[in-house]
Amino acid sequence: MLIGYLDRERRYQFNNEAYRAWFNQDPAALRGRLVRDVVGEQAYAATSGYMDRALAGERLDFEATMPYREGFTKHIHTNYVPDVRDGQVIGFYTLVQDVTEQVEALRQVAALNEQLVVINKELATANDELGTANRQLTRTNVDLDNFIYTASHDLRAPITNIEGLLLALREQISASAALSDNLIPQLLDMMQGAVERFQVTIAQLTDIARLQQAHDLATEEVAVAEVVEAVRLDLAPQLTQAAAQLLVDVAPDLRVSFAPKNLRSVVYNLLSNAIKYRHPARQPVVRLRAERREPAVVFTVQDNGLGLSAQQQGQLFGLFQRLHTHVEGTGVGLYMVKRMVENVGGTITVQSQPEIGTTFIIQLPA
C-alpha cells in the first residue's frame, strides 16, 4: 500500500517505502516534488478532481485506473483524508491500495458471464429447434406406425381373396384343361408365388408395427422361469419334429424388470431360431441359462446348429437380414430382439463358428 502526504501545492511531503517499487525511485527523492511530475500526466488527470475535493475538506474513498507510464497501469483503491488545522485544510493524506488483480479477475468474470449469456441464448435456441424437431419426429413416427398398421391390415384381406380365387381357378382349370397343357399350371404357380411374396411383405410390416408398439410397453418384475416354460410349451411341436433337446437352467425365483410380452418375444425368437437353423447331421441341443450377475441378469442361449461366419455375425441384427434361406422367415426377428433389449438399457452379443454352433448373450439391468 502506498502511504503519502500532499500539501496544498500538491507536493509530496511524505511517502513510504512502497513508492520505490512503483516509481523506481528512492522515496526520499520524491519529497518536495509535484504529484503530477511523479505519477505522470495521464494518471494525474484521473485523480486531479478528487484532489480538488480533498483540499476543499472532503474525505474521499474511490477507485481509479492509473496509467502511470507506458506498460505500467494500476487499478487502485484510494482514500484521501484532509488534514484540517484551525479550520483550514493544509494538505491531505493518501492511502493507495493496488486492486489490479481483483479488477482484472472481475473483468474476466464479467466477460465470461457475457459469453455464458450468449451460449445460453444459443443453447435455448438449439433446444427450441430440437424440441420442434422432436415433436415433428414424434408426429412422423405416429403417422408411420399408423400407415404400417393400416397398410398391413388393409392389404391382408385383398391378398387372401386373391389367394382364394387362385385356388378356385386352379381347381377349375385342373378339371377341364388337357393333361398335356403345362403352361397353365406354370402360370398359376408363378401367380401363387407372387401372392406368397406379398404375404411375406405384409408379415414384415406387421412385425415392424408390433415392434413400435412394444417400445411403449411398461416394464414390471417378471418371473423368468415362468416365461421360459411358457415358450417351451409353445415350441413343443417344433422341438418334437426336430427331435431337439432343450436344456433349461433358470432359478425359480429369478426375476427381471422387463415388459412380459417383450421378454416372451426375446426368448421365443432365440429358441425358435436355434431349432430352425439346426445342423442336419446331428441332434439339435439347445441350452438356455439365466442368472443374476450383478448389476445385470444374464441370459445365455447356446446351440450346436449351423453357426455363422464373421461376416454373417456383422449382418445378423439388421432389418430384413436373412442369412439362411432354406427356412421361412422375414428377417425381422433378431432386429426386434436387439431393439427390445436395448430399449431397456441392455445389450445382446453373439459368438459363433460355422458348423459348430452359436451362442447369444443378453444382459439386462437387474
pLDDT single digits (tens) 225-279: 999 999 999 999 999 999 999 999 999 999 999 999 899 999 999 999 999 999 9
Are both 2-98 and 220-365 of the same fold? no
Distance CA 2, CA 15 (A): 7
Q: What is the pLDDT of residue 134?
A: 82
Q: Where are the domains of the chain?
A: 2-98, 105-214, 220-365
CATH code of domain 220-365: 3.30.565.10
pLDDT at 192 over 80: no
Determine what percent of the chain is predicted with pLDDT higher than 90: 56
Distance CA 351, CA 357 (A): 9
Q: What is the pLDDT of residue 152?
A: 61
Adjacent-strand bridge partners of 349: 361
Neighbours of 249 (CB within 10 A): 11
Adjacent-strand bridge partners of 306: none
Q: Grid cell 384381406 — which residue?
A: 157
pLDDT at 39 over 80: yes
Adjacent-strand bridge partners of 87: none
Instruction: Please state which of the ranges 62-66, 175-179, 338-342 shows the lowest mean pLDDT.
Output: 175-179
**Span 47-53, mean pLDDT?**
96
pLDDT at 129 over 90: no
Q: What is the pLDDT of residue 154?
A: 59
- 179 falls in which pLDDT band (50, 70, 90)? very low
CA atoms within 13 A on the CB side of 88: 4
Q: What is the pLDDT of residue 88?
A: 95
> What's the chain's length in residues?
366
- pTM, two decimal places: 0.50
Q: How far is CA 23 from CA 35, 40, 69, 250, in A?
A: 12, 10, 9, 86
Question: Of 335 and 61, which is predicted with more confidence?
Answer: 61
Instruction: Please state which of the ranges 22-26, 119-123, 141-145 shows the lowest mean pLDDT.
Output: 141-145
CB 251 within 8 A of CB 225: yes
- 190 falls in which pLDDT band (50, 70, 90)? confident
- Whether residue 295 is preceded by a cis peptide bond, meaning omega within 30 degrees of 0, is yes
**Ramachandran angles phi, psi of 340, nearest 5°:** -65, -40
Q: Grid cell 425359480 — which residue?
A: 252
Q: What is the pLDDT of residue 194?
A: 67
CATH class of 2-98: alpha beta
pLDDT at 6 over 70: yes
Q: Three-state DSSP class for 355? A: coil
pLDDT at 329 over 80: no
Average pLDDT, the chain: 85
Burial of 335 (0-12, 13-18, 19+ CB in 10 A): buried
Distance CA 54, CA 233 (A): 101
